[in-house]
Amino acid sequence: MTGSRSIVQRYSASATGRWTMLIIGMLTTASTALLLNGAAFLIPALRDQRGMSLTEAGIVVAMPTAGIVLTLFAWGAVVDRIGERRSLITGSALTAVAAFCAAATESTVALAVFLLLGGMAAASVNSATGRVVVGWFPPHRRGLAMGIRQMSLPLGVALSALLIPGIARDHGVSSAMLLPAVASTVGAIACVIGVFDPPRPSRTASSSAELLANPYRGRRDLWRIHAASVALVVPQYVVWTFSLVWLVDQREWSPAAAGILITVAQVLGAFGRIGVGAVSDRVGSRLGPMRWVAAAVVTVMIVLAIADAAGWSVSVVVLVVASVATVSPNGLAFTAVAERAGPFWSGRALGAQNTSQFIAASAVPPLFGALITHTSYPVAFAVSAIVAAAAVPTIPREHRSRLHQ
């Protein structure tokens, strides 16, 4: 037993161990993204096979994000208490169970319920994998490492866009749910094998008193990061949720071709997250680059609204740029929150970060679906740009080269 513990300690402390845990965390998060975000690509099948309106289908595919909102903070508290490894294993396994149940039902109501339960379980990976990165990587490498971890979401969306529409069209919605079910099972097994809790100070040590203090009391920086992230998630989910339908309905693309384009855009977005993370390490600031990216998001969504309203073919290219820009700020905000909250509060702080984002995200499909139905896509793109504009002055300012330990 002592020999096994020594091997684990050497593995965890090594560069190979850190990067292996990062990759496992990224792939585990990507597997849950197949459920959380891949549900949006069921919309064409729900409309064609089950006769649902865009608003009704939007409500169904919003269930995973509604589920994650219910449990993100609770999972963050669990991670703070029992550690990252057990939280990842349990959450991934429960996500797999919910997805298999969704695959086994033909009822739309039951599908919505299992999507909700799957989202509730998948919430575990958000706080846990973020803490793995912050716990095992030094401050001057965290931006890059978190950018790689944050690749998981666009990669999960990319894989969803590539596979789910075709599977749902040819074999039905239930068959499409097997993809996240199998992926989450593999993720749980990988966490059992290769993920271990990072070290953190003892709760009883006198040096831990400041770290144990509630970081939300007497400070506004975390609240402002949360608020800015909420504003920025709106255009992100507008693009994610409605890109496929927009390409098919407005640009007369086939679902397969539209899925390929979205896949390419999401892969580019994944590398964009790495890029801005590396920049934050170099300039010594998470929030400065986040402000730059926020301004870019506002600009590109306005351009997309204008290009679509004018009927320009270049609007497809602008959509790809928007796909990259809108996903880029997440890793910066995530890292900043974890660093500022400290080792005893980062789970709950990351839970609060994601809860606030997913509350907004879960409202996007039905609200913007109704907005598009009663107005147009350009109006929806413009409204999302207005919401994102509120983030620019909200993001706190910090001194360059001040990375929080």
pLDDT in tens, 127-161: 788 788 878 888 778 888 888 887 787 778 778 87
pLDDT at 5: 60
pLDDT above 60 for 272: yes
- Cα 242 from chain centroid? 17
- Report in angstroms the alpha-carbon separations of 215 from 185, 203, 288, 338, 340: 35, 16, 21, 11, 8
What does the radius of gyration of the chain's CA atoms come to, in whole angstroms? 20
Buried b (16+ CB within 10 A) or exposed e, 288-324: bbbbbbbebbbbbbbbbbebbeeeeeebbebbbbbbb
Both tokens assigned to 42: 């069921």
> 237 and 364 in contact (C-beta within 8 Å)?
yes
pLDDT above 60 for 204: no
- Report in angstroms the alpha-carbon separations of 156 from 27, 33, 53, 67, 271: 9, 5, 26, 18, 13
pLDDT at 404: 45
> Which range has the top average pLDDT, 33-37, 87-91, 166-170, 251-255?
87-91
* Tens of pLDDT, residues 33-83: 898 878 888 888 888 877 777 777 878 888 997 888 888 888 888 888 888
Q: How confident is the model at residue 379 (pLDDT cuts 50, 70, 90)?
A: very high
pLDDT at 206: 43
Mean pLDDT of all residues belonging to the chain: 85
> Residues 107, 111, 117, 121: is their CA dihedral positive or negative?
positive
Fold of 7-197+219-394: Growth Hormone; Chain: A; (1.20.1250)
- Report in angstroms the alpha-carbon separations of 152 from 165, 290, 331, 339: 20, 19, 11, 20
Question: Cα–Cα distance between 14 and 20 in angstroms, integer?
Answer: 10
Q: Where are the domains of the chain?
A: 7-197+219-394
pLDDT at 135: 80
Best CA proximity match to 242, nearest among 58, 15, 74, 98? 58
Question: Cα–Cα distance between 165 and 177 in angstroms, integer?
Answer: 11
What is the average per-residue pLDDT within 268-273?
A: 84
pLDDT above 90 for 117: yes
Taking each helix axis from N to C terminus, what angle separates 63-82 and 124-136, rounded to the nearest 10 degrees?
40
Question: What is the largest distance, in Å, between two alpha-carbon atoms of the chain?
Answer: 69
Report pTM.
0.73
Region label for 303, one of left (φ > 0), alpha (ψ between -120 and 50) or beta (otherwise): alpha
* Tens of pLDDT, residues 320-359: 999 999 988 888 888 888 888 877 787 788 888 888 887 8
Between 115 and 262, where is the model more confident? Answer: 115
Between 205 and 118, where is the model more confident? Answer: 118
pLDDT at 120: 93
Q: How confident is the model at residue 118 (pLDDT cuts 50, 70, 90)?
A: very high
Question: Cα–Cα distance between 191 and 27 in angstroms, integer?
Answer: 10
What is the average per-residue pLDDT within 170-192?
A: 91
Write out the chain in H/E/C secondary structure: CHHHHHHHHHHHHCHHHHHHHHHHHHHHHHHHHHHHCHHHHHHHHHHHHHCCCHHHHHHHHCHHHHHHHHHHHHHHHHHHHHCHHHHHHHHHHHHHHHHHHHHCCCCHHHHHHHHHHHHHHHCHHHHHHHHHHHHHCCHHHHHHHHHHHHCHHHHHHHHHHHHHHHHHHHHCHHHHCHHHHHHHHHHHHHHHHHCCCCCCCCCCCHHHHHHHCCCCCCCCHHHHHHHHHHHHHHHHHHHHHHHHHHHHHCCCCCHHHHHHHHHHHHHHHHHHHHHHHHHHHHHCCCHHHHHHHHHHHHHHHHHHHHHHHHCCCCHHHHHHHHHHHHHCHHHHHHHHHHHHHCCCCHHHHHHHHHHHHHHHHHHHHHHHHHHHHHCCHHHHHHHHHHHHHCHHHHCCCCCCCCCCC
> 294 and 227 in contact (C-beta within 8 Å)?
no
What is the average per-residue pLDDT within 208-218?
A: 69
Amino acid at 23: I
Q: How many CB atoms lie within 10 A of CB 10?
A: 11
What is the average per-residue pLDDT within 88-106?
A: 92
44-53, 96-105, 298-307 — which is least confidently predicted?
44-53
* Tens of pLDDT, residues 229-267: 999 999 999 998 899 889 998 888 888 888 889 888 878
Best CA proximity match to 392, nearest among 277, 235, 242? 235
